Amino acid sequence: MTPPFRTPIGLLLTNTARAASRAFDDALAAVGGSAPIWQILISIKSRQLGNQRELAEAVGIQGATLTHHLNAMESGGLLTRRRDPANRRVHVVELTEEGERLFHRLREVAVAFDARLRAGLSEEQIAAFEQVLTQLAKNVRD
């Protein structure tokens, strides 16, 4: 007798991540943001100053894709870029006042979304879930 079919973990993970990502994107869009903008803003805020190469690595995107986002964000008045006086090949990226305001709006949305995801879960369940995700990431790398 064959064992009953179980949905593969990878498929469950992919579908759940896709649904969560769409919901998060929608929540950010409602206040004028997007997931890439949020990732860029939080990366800049966590470093105060950062160059484009470091930002691309932190966000996990290619340099050309980052440049596209930074161009739009700069045109929108969210950030400025200037040459690093110590290395003229490097652009230093800084938030403007409008970028700061957007960062704070998006942070509120991100905190609320995280609370939404955690709803109905105990601290023990969250800790176990984090361990499972860590192990899945390790299994993929190995």
Q: What's residue 97's pLDDT?
A: 96
pLDDT at residue 91, as a whole number: 78
Tokens for 95, please give them. Answer: 């938030």
pTM of the predicted model over 0.85: no
Hey, what are 82's tokens? 């200037």
48 against 8, higher pLDDT: 8
What is the pLDDT at residue 2? 65
User: What is the per-residue pLDDT across 69-120, written as a single tens digit (0 to 9) for each?
Assistant: 999 999 999 999 888 788 877 778 889 999 999 999 999 999 999 999 999 9
> Distance between alpha carbon 70 and the CA centroid of its chain, in Å?
15
Q: What is the pLDDT of residues 21-58, one digit of tens each?
A: 999 999 999 999 999 899 999 988 887 555 677 778 87
Phi first, then psi: give them for residue 51, nearest 5 degrees. Answer: -95, 165
pLDDT (0 to 100) of residue 67: 87
The predicted structure's pLDDT at residue 48: 53
Give the Cβ contact number of residue 28 at 10 Å.
20
